[in-house]
Structure 1
Amino acid sequence: MGICDGRVVIVTGAGRGLGREHALAFAAAGAKVVVNDLGAGLDGSNTGEHPAEQVVAEIVAEGGEAVVNGADVSDWEQAKSLVQQAIDTFGALDTVVNNAGFLRDKMLVSMSEDEWDNVTRVHLKGHFAVLHHAAAYWRAESKAGRARAARVVNTTSGAGLFGSVGQGNYAAAKAGIALLTIQAAAEMGGYGIQLNAIAPSARTRMTTSAGESMASAMAAPEDGTFDAMHPGNVSPLVVWLGSAECEVTGRVFETEGGKVTVCDGWQRAGTADKGERWKPEELGDVVPRLIAESPEPVPVYGAR
């Protein structure tokens, strides 16, 4: 009996990296897993590969239950079919882990419209599309008197929380995902749906240096020390957030190695209220004082 015994879980982008580890961890915890992966390259290009099949084979070899799904999560109808496949195959849906995404890094001044649109489409719209169709199912179940302990785990990033030089498209999409999580938690709680997000730090295709194979990057340290950057370290939190035991919603967690940190979003800090309209010249003294009274922001990754 695992913490997710009998639950039906969708993991997007589950062919490699973090998603693969999440799928394997859910299966080990007793869940039936829909392993979604488009087989795209790091930049979103079609590689013709089918890594989701390998993940399903691993789960089945260990006695678990899993099926392959190759949907593009940013396509509205394909996202709907992904949710429906879970219901048709396993009779229900309990948890969605939105993880799929890719990179097209450029400085903003050099970034093309397509590079902006494609990254925001897959990350932000991809999260929303799957969430929308899953939530529609859960709402219908709730109204029919069959409310489920529905859970959603979204994937934001430190780049989305604090910014990252050269990743404006990715950072903006991930920032949107963080707030989408908080927004959806406020809207969907009445149907038994709980939503949280993680901002993981781990070694994946996105972070592995050029020329370094994933096989070598994923190898355990020869001296037996704890590998803090292994993506599998992130999955226990994801599995707990996706379980019926979780009673937390609308929060964002940064996770790396053995460390879990709650990250707060925008908070009101220093304030001044004149009680009437300000004159522009008055604010030259007021704004610096308010900034001095407020916490220092976390520096943007890569900023000088």
Structure 2
Amino acid sequence: MSLLEGRVAIVTGAGRGLGRAHALKLAEHGAKLVINDLGSSSSGEGVDQTPAQEVVAAIEAMGGQAVVNTSDVSNWNAAQEMVQQAVDTFGRLDVLVNNAGILRDRMLVNMTEDEWDTVVKVHLKGTFAPIHHAANYWRLESKAGRPVDARIINTTSHSALFANIGQANYASAKGGIATLTQLAARELGRIGVTVNAIAPRAETRMTAGLSEGQSEERMARRDPEWIAAMVAWLASPESKSISGRIFETWGYGYSVIESWQHGPQMEASRDPTEIGEGVKRIAGFARPNAGIDRNTWLNP
């Protein structure tokens, strides 16, 4: 039996790049899919059904089953309809892969309100809305006495985890997704749902121009298929014991991002004039914040 035989999955933003790779890998291993893609540009402009239709055609050509969904995942009702489409079409839902996203990069002093609002909406609300509606479907299944063994796989980013400059909107939204992943894992575990996230490094239209001059070997290691393999495993029954984790993923390897930890401490005081030396001392003993290039084995 294939790794994902009989499982039904939604992949958002599945028309191109990482989402397309996820969808094809899931289908290759037996999943039936709802291919969600609004068909917009990388900055979130325009609508085009063609990318989603092409992925469905590719899945059908390999003997799989898939349907098109062109909803805006940050639209509350559209996200609910997408979940219902999976259930109506294939009789169930087992996996939700939240991948849809856009970029509108700018230094924070130059960023407009619309650039902030739009990016945060697409990424953060566009992750929360599908989770909310999928979780309610699984909650009702559990209450009805039907066993649930479901998976949610979110997409965060190194830009959020290691504070990449020039991406205040994107990094803030992706940081929210990382925390949402851990929170949802704690809330939904009791009904049989695991929740994990990936922090991928891949060559897609979202990263166009960032890899100029890099070696052929490095470019090969940025192929989205390396990341899709991890997504497929996390979507499978084999991953049942893993939840609330964030994985760095690309062709150089996979690693677990370690969460915020309690660090050095000092006694509190009601008098601000008494705490200066103590604050400097504990800050000095604390490990420095990890930088975006700090983990060298994942950034050779």
TM more than 0.5: yes
Residue 242 (str. 1) matches residue 235 (str. 2) = yes
Aligned-residue Cα RMSD (Å) equals 2.1
Written as runs of structure 1 = structure 2, the 5 A alignment for 1:271-282 is: 271-274=265-268, 277-282=269-274
Alpha-carbon contact 1:165-1:300 (below 8 Å) kept: no
Letter matched to residue 229 of structure 1: R
1:61: Cα distance to partner?
Answer: 0.3
1:278: Cα distance to partner?
Answer: 4.0
Runs of 4+ in 1 over 4 A off after TM superposition: 221-226
CA distance in 1, matches of 2:292, 2:63: 45
Residue in structure 1 matching 2:289, options 288, 294, 297: 297
Alpha-carbon contact 2:156-2:199 (below 8 Å) kept: yes
SS of 2:206's partner is coil
Q: 1:140 to 1:267 in 2, by over 3 A?
A: same
Alpha-carbon contact 2:38-2:47 (below 8 Å) kept: no
Residue 227 (str. 1) matches residue 220 (str. 2) = yes
Deviation per residue, 1:169-208 (Å, 9 max, x gap): 0000000000000011111111101000000011011111
For 1:84, the equivalent position in structure 2 comes to 84
For 2:27, the equivalent position in structure 1 comes to 27
1:224: Cα distance to partner?
Answer: 8.5
Letter matched to residue 240 of structure 1: W
CA distance in 2, matches of 1:224, 1:180: 34
Residue 113 (str. 1) matches residue 107 (str. 2) = no
Q: 1:168 to 1:273 in 2, by over 3 A?
A: same
Residue 259 (str. 1) matches residue 253 (str. 2) = yes
Q: 1:292 to 1:50 in 2, by over 3 A?
A: same
CA distance in 2, matches of 1:300, 1:240: 26
Residue 285 (str. 1) matches residue 281 (str. 2) = no
Q: 1:296 to 1:93 in 2, by over 3 A?
A: same
Q: 1:225 to 1:130 in 2, by over 3 A?
A: closer
CA distance in 2, matches of 1:225, 1:159: 19
Deviation per residue, 1:58-105 (Å, 9 max, x gap): 000010111111010000000001000000000000000000000000
Alpha-carbon contact 1:38-1:50 (below 8 Å) kept: no
Alpha-carbon contact 2:53-2:68 (below 8 Å) kept: yes
CA distance in 1, matches of 2:74, 2:217: 40
For 1:139, the equivalent position in structure 2 comes to 139
Letter matched to residue 299 of structure 1: G
CA distance in 2, matches of 1:163, 1:248: 26
Number of residue pairs matched? 292
SS of 2:237's partner is coil
Letter matched to residue 16 of structure 2: R
For 2:296, the equivalent position in structure 1 comes to none
SS of 1:2's partner is coil
CA distance in 1, matches of 2:292, 2:279: 22
SS of 2:205's partner is coil
SS of 1:234's partner is helix
For 1:179, the equivalent position in structure 2 comes to 179
1:273: Cα distance to partner?
Answer: 2.0
TM superposition score normalised by structure 2: 0.93
Q: 1:71 to 1:47 in 2, by over 3 A?
A: closer
CA distance in 1, matches of 2:158, 2:110: 22
Alpha-carbon contact 2:198-2:248 (below 8 Å) kept: yes
CA distance in 2, matches of 1:300, 1:3: 33
**Any unmatched runs of 5+ in structure 2?**
294-300
